[in-house]
Chain A
Amino acid sequence: MNSRTREKIDSLLKLIFKGAGFLTITLLAGIFFLLFSNSILFFLDVSPLDFFTGSQWDPDTHFSIIPLLVSTFWVAIGSMLLAVPLGVLTAAYLSEMAPRSLQTVLKPIIEMLAAIPSVAIGFLGIVLVGPGLAQLFGIQNGLNALNGSVLLAVMALPTIVSISEDAINAVPKSHREASFALGANKWETLFKVTIPAAFPGLIAAVMLGLGRALGETMTVLMATGNSAAIPRGFLDSVRTITATIAIEMGEVPYQTTHYFALFAIAGLLFLITMVINLTGEFFANRLRKFDA
């Protein structure tokens, strides 16, 4: 091949690579378009007012997202209440206390936790956490919001630990030394200086963990009992948006109101997770700037 031909091939391949880059925009736009075009078809049948203010999800008559939305946040926020303190304290232990050799053992173990398929975690919700909760609270079965929260907490922990740890590590050493110089001890320094200084990063950790918990399907589908009513407590059975789609999409007739309704709730979930992930990313970027 002469150099002309080689350079032509080069520019052709550059175009192909660029095309692959465009694919990602197309894909996101495609998902966006799919969800919103179907949502519009849904809102031609059902008024947005009923959708956002009603209190019942019953695919024959009532399409209100409220019980599903409350369920979704109920479980996810419950999981954060469990996972955030545990995750941040673990991150603090790993970055401030653990000797290097222990760190190199613990970090891969926590990473392994993220590798376990969600369906296996859901399975444990049925065979282990559920019966456990039933016994503990003296209820008939343990498939409820609390079960889902526990499982989602386990799943969100690796994300929360790893980002929190980055955040704590990014706090400049000089902050700590200044605190020690003022006579503060190790703990005062950790809780009054290091963790507050790492706060933006910790928010990022919580947001990205929350984003994952809100979008998770299989664990909540298997472990929360799936009754589509507004929960009154953590021991009530709930049905999240994701679980609703998973249960009903398989049976629903093509292009009916019910079919469109499932796209509408997916659209809302898409928006919610996007906002939460963007918020998390905003704080994570501040963390990076802090770093530099």
Chain B
Amino acid sequence: MERKHFVNSFFWFILGGSTLIVVSFLGIILWDIFSKGFSSLSWAFISSFPRDGMTQGGILPAIIGTVLLTLITTLFSVPFGVACAIYLNEYAKPTLLTNIIRASIRNLAGVPSIIYGLFGLALFVQALDFGTSVLSAGLTLGLLSLPYIITTTEEALKRIPNSLREAALALGVTQFETIKDVVLPKALPGILTGVILTLSRAAGETAPILFTGVAFFINGISASPYQEFMALPYHLYMLSTQHNEIEQVRPLAYGTATVLILVVFSLNSMAFYLRFKNRTQD
């Protein structure tokens, strides 16, 4: 009896302990970054340009750059991704071709992000001659996001019962009209959840934008998509490894990390909320 009790507590300790360690990772990460980063946050920090060789000032251009970047990513990847998911779920018959498309998508999801960077460099920067620009980088991230958008959209479409499609078709409504008027509106919250999660991921990506347009510093903001740009994740990378006075800019790095994580987490919370609301409605 004594031994059994010991064994029980031992295994409980091992399993529970592992879980505790995993969960505490998140705690440690957030605590370290937020506790040191919040003191750097101020209105000036998020609303001004870096000054004095980046040892002073704020991160406004990096915020704007990241917003612009994810905007281009969205404009490109959402229409294509949703269209592809519609094809797979609504039209495609289980043929060899469909299987090849599905296999490609799964493979694309596993391609390392730096390789997307190389592809973006070759295709957008060089072949299409968009140069190193926010356009090239946004399109590169768009390609990277494509498999996730497709997968999450397809899942949302799968949840729409076939009886709704039949209801519309039986009224002499064409398949496209059915998709546009019945299927998509009903699947919208699910699709939106996937899109937001994908964008939060894209906003935090660094490797694919390294050679496609991100810059250490720009001294003005313009609306041209052919401009180089600053981005939050790259700014953090640069402040923590490439700067001449790393110790001096550490508070700025912590501040940038805090803003980046807050951006990503608020996008994630939005997606969680949408998903929760959607599930409880059904």
- Contact, chains A and B (beta carbon distance below 8 A): yes
Stretch from B39-47, B49-57, B142-150, B221-229 that touches the partner: B142-150
A218 touches B237 (CB 8 A): yes
Residues of B within 8 A of A18 (CB): 87, 91-92
| A128 in contact (CB, < 8 A) | yes
Q: Which residues of B contact A161 (CB under 8 A)?
A: 22
Do residues B146 and A27 form an inter-chain contact, with CB atoms below 8 A? yes
Q: Is A9 touching B15 in the complex (CB atoms < 8 A)?
A: no
Query: Which chain A positions have C-beta within 8 A of B201?
Result: 115
**One of A17, A85, A113, A250 near B26 (C-beta < 8 A):** A113
Residue contact B115 to A14, C-beta cutoff 8 Å: no
Cβ–Cβ contact A10 & B241, under 8 A = no
Q: A89-B19, A112-B26, A270-B115 are in contact. Are A222 and B260 (CB under 8 A)?
A: no
Give the one of B14, B19, B91, B254 with max A CB within 10 A. Answer: B19
A116-B111 in contact (CB<8A): no
Given the complex of chains A and B, what is the CA–CA distance between A18 and B53 in angstroms? 51
Give per-residue flags for B248-274: 1 if the beta carbon is below 8 A from chain A beta carbons, else 0. Answer: 001001100100110011001000100
- Residue contact A246 to B114, C-beta cutoff 8 Å: yes
Q: A98, A123, A187, A245: which contacts B257 (Cβ < 8 A)?
A: A123
How far is B60's CA from A184's CA once the two chains are assembled, in angstroms?
A: 62
Q: Are A120 and B22 in contact (CB under 8 A)?
A: no
* Interface footprint category on B: 35 or more
Q: Select one of A20, A121, A185, A218 contacting B80, CB under 8 A.
A: A20
Minimum Cβ distance to chain B for residue A222 (Å): 6
Q: Are A24 and B115 in contact (CB under 8 A)?
A: no
Q: Is A166 an interface residue (CB 8 A)?
A: no
Query: Chain A residues near B233 (CB, 8 Å)?
Result: 117, 119-120, 218
B108 touches A27 (CB 8 A): yes
Q: How many residues of A contact B (CB 8 A)?
A: 84
Which residues of chain A from 229 to 244 have a CB within 8 Å of any chain B CB?
242
Do B253 and A123 have beta carbons less than 8 Å apart? yes
* Residue pair A34, B122 in contact (C-beta under 8 Å): yes
Question: Do A97 and B16 contact each other (CB < 8 Å), given the known contacts A115-B264, A250-B210?
Answer: yes
Cβ of A13 within 8 Å of any chain B Cβ, yes or no, is: yes
Q: Is the CB of B112 within 8 A of A270?
A: yes
User: A50 near B: Cβ within 8 Å?
Assistant: no
Q: Which residues 24-43 of B have a CB within 8 angstroms of A?
A: 25-26, 28-29, 32-33
Q: Closest CB of chain B to A238's CB: distance in Å?
A: 16
B193 at interface by CB-CB < 8 Å: no
CB-based contact A218/B177 at 8 Å: no
Decide: A215 near B114, CB < 8 A? Known: A21-B87, A117-B264. Answer: yes
State A31–B210 Cα separation when bound (angstroms). Answer: 18
From residue A272, how far is it (CB to closest CB) to chain B in Å?
A: 10
Instruction: Determine whether A202 belongs to the interface, using a CB cutoff of 8 Å to chain B.
Output: no
Cβ-closest chain B residue relative to A83: B22
Interface residues in B78-127 by Cβ distance below 8 A to A read 80, 83-84, 86-88, 90-92, 98, 100-101, 104-108, 110-119, 121-123, 126
Binary contact track B6-25/A, C-beta < 8 Å → 1, others 0: 01100110111011011101
With contacts A28-B104, A217-B207 taken as known, whether A120 is within 8 angstroms of B33 at the C-beta atoms is yes
Contacts of B80 in A (CB 8 A): 20, 23
A152 on the B face (CB < 8 A): no
* Interface residue from A24, A112, A126 paired with B146 (Cβ < 8 Å): A24
A31 cross-chain contacts in B, Cβ below 8 A:
108, 111, 115-116, 119
Cα A242 to Cα B32 with chains together (Å): 27
Q: Is A52 an interface residue (CB 8 A)?
A: no
User: Whole-angstrom distance between the alpha carbons of A93 and B18 in the complex?
Assistant: 8
Given the complex, which residues of B lie within 8 Å of A98, measured CB to CB? 19
Say yes or no: is B206 at the interface (Cβ < 8 Å to chain A): yes
Let me know if A106 is at the binding interface, CB within 8 A.
yes
Partner of A121, one of B29, B98, B253, B254: B29
Q: Which of B192-214 contact A (CB under 8 A)?
A: 200-201, 203-207, 210-211
13 CB-based A-B contacts, threshold 8 Å: A6-B177, A10-B176, A20-B83, A21-B88, A24-B150, A86-B22, A118-B206, A119-B204, A119-B206, A123-B237, A123-B240, A222-B240, A249-B210
| Chain A interface residues toward B at CB < 8 A | 3, 6-7, 9-10, 13-14, 16-25, 27-28, 30-31, 34-35, 85-87, 89-90, 92-94, 96-98, 106, 108-110, 112-113, 115-124, 126-128, 154, 157, 161, 185-187, 190, 211, 214-218, 221-222, 242, 245-246, 249-250, 254, 262-263, 266, 269-270, 273-274, 277-278, 281
With A124-B32, A127-B32, A215-B115 known, 13 other A-B pairs at CB within 8 A are A16-B83, A20-B80, A21-B87, A89-B15, A108-B272, A110-B23, A115-B201, A116-B29, A123-B257, A124-B29, A157-B25, A185-B4, A215-B111
